[in-house]
């Protein structure tokens, strides 16, 4: 916590300082493991589906009352240790004037892709005034959460650039990766723009009351390590630098990130650049700890597919993930990606109860049993 935060901020007035999440992110393993889920707010909840009837996704994100209520729904239902602000990674680029909509069943689609130097020159900065719906939604949410921390989030520059260049979702991001090599100066300017837009979005959430910040790189798994280190990581570091002076814990997460996980933990080549790395389901947590070292908290990494498995299978999986996470300095239990929309929400509640019953996570035996309870 620094003097840069408002005195009414939950980390400044002490509301969330001792929360399980904040303690774990700062490297202090709490007596009870913290747990939350990416995409915990959304389509898996019947109350969300009822609330969203007749409202487009981006309209919901920019309605402060609606966004706040959606953020709060899973905290009430599941008893998770944090809220994650309900928004979308393309919200800040929309607020900066980019023509983008979320098409049901497809995802973000741009009116005009960004593929030339002139296209990059035409991009406008994200003005502070445009962020008013975001700051109002966060403030409303934080007022309701009390001692439960809110996590702010933003899309990482590469993932935003991939959408901008491709014009929508893509399996291999060929156009984006081609621009990276064919027009490196244009690429660098595009990623600097994306970094500043994401950084401003993150900073607005933190100043309005978020107690942690997560940078989310959905498509980083399509990159070679060499390309990530030289052409992407410096821009992710730039995005995160927008909240450095605020002193809030920072989480860096990417999908398919195993080969660059250590680089994501020291993004931009700086130890301490992030407080935690999110690990997807492909890499066992104990191996992830070997890659990132003992100075970083790990977050993850339950396999989302297991949420639809029979409970004994899921329980064994949860215990195994917790056991492996026990070798880290601290562990925030989460999924290795987001909650699938078809998930039975009662299963998520049951997972939260199980995780909380496992104490600090360091006493779960190799056979999946809880040694402290046996």
- By annotation, the residues acting in catalysis are 39, 43, 52, 88, 163
Return the structure tokens found at 325: 């996470």
Nearest Cα to 325, choosing from 352, 288, 272, 291?
288
Residues 6+ apart with CB under 8 A from 170: 162, 176
Distance CA(197)–CA(157), nearest Å, equals 9
Cis peptide before 77 (omega within 30 of 0): no
Nearest Cα to 81, choosing from 9, 10, 23?
23
Cα distances from 294 to residues 33, 250, 278, 331, in angstroms, run 18, 16, 14, 11
Q: Is 189 exposed, middle or buried (0-12, 13-18, 19+ CB in 10 A)?
A: middle
Phi, psi (deg, nearest 5) at residue 234: -60, -30
Residues 6+ apart with CB under 8 A from 276: 24, 25, 249, 250, 251, 252, 296, 297, 298, 299, 332
């Amino acid at each position: 916590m620094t003097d840069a935060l408002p005195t009414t901020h939950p980390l400044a007035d002490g509301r969330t300082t001792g929360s399980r999440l904040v303690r774990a992110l700062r490297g202090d393993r709490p007596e009870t493991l913290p747990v939350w889920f990416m995409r915990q707010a959304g389509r898996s909840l019947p109350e969300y589906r009822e609330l969203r009837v007749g409202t487009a996704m981006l309209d919901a994100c920019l309605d402060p009352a609606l966004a706040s209520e959606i953020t709060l729904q899973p905290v009430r239902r599941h008893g998770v240790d944090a809220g994650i602000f309900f928004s979308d990674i393309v919200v800040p680029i929309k607020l900066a004037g980019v023509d983008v909509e979320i098409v049901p069943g497809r995802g973000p689609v741009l009116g005009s892709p960004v593929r030339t130097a002139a296209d990059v020159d035409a991009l406008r900065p994200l003005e502070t005034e445009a962020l008013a719906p975001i700051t109002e939604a966060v403030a409303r949410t934080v007022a309701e959460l009390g001692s439960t921390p809110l996590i702010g989030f933003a899309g990482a520059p590469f993932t935003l650039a991939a959408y901008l260049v491709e014009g929508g979702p893509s399996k291999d991001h060929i156009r984006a990766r081609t621009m990276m090599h064919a027009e490196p100066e244009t690429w660098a300017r595009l990623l600097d723009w994306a970094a500043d837009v994401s950084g401003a979005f993150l900073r607005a959430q933190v100043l309005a009351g978020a107690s942690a910040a997560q940078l989310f790189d959905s498509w980083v798994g399509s990159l070679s390590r060499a390309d990530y280190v030289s052409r992407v990581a410096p821009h992710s570091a730039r995005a995160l630098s927008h909240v450095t002076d605020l002193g809030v814990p920072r989480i860096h997460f990417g999908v398919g990130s195993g080969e660059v996980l250590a680089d994501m933990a020291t993004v931009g080549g700086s130890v301490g650049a992030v407080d935690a790395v999110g690990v997807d389901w492909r890499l066992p947590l104990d191996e992830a700890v070997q890659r990132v070292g003992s100075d970083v908290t790990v977050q993850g990494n339950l396999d989302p597919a297991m949420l639809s498995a029979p409970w004994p299978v899921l329980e064994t999986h949860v215990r195994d993930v917790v056991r492996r996470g026990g070798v880290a300095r601290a562990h925030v239990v989460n999924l290795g990606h987001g909650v699938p929309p078809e998930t039975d929400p009662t299963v998520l509640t049951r997972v939260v109860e199980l995780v909380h019953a496992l104490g600090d996570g360091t006493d779960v035996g190799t056979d999946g049993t809880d040694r402290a309870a046996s």
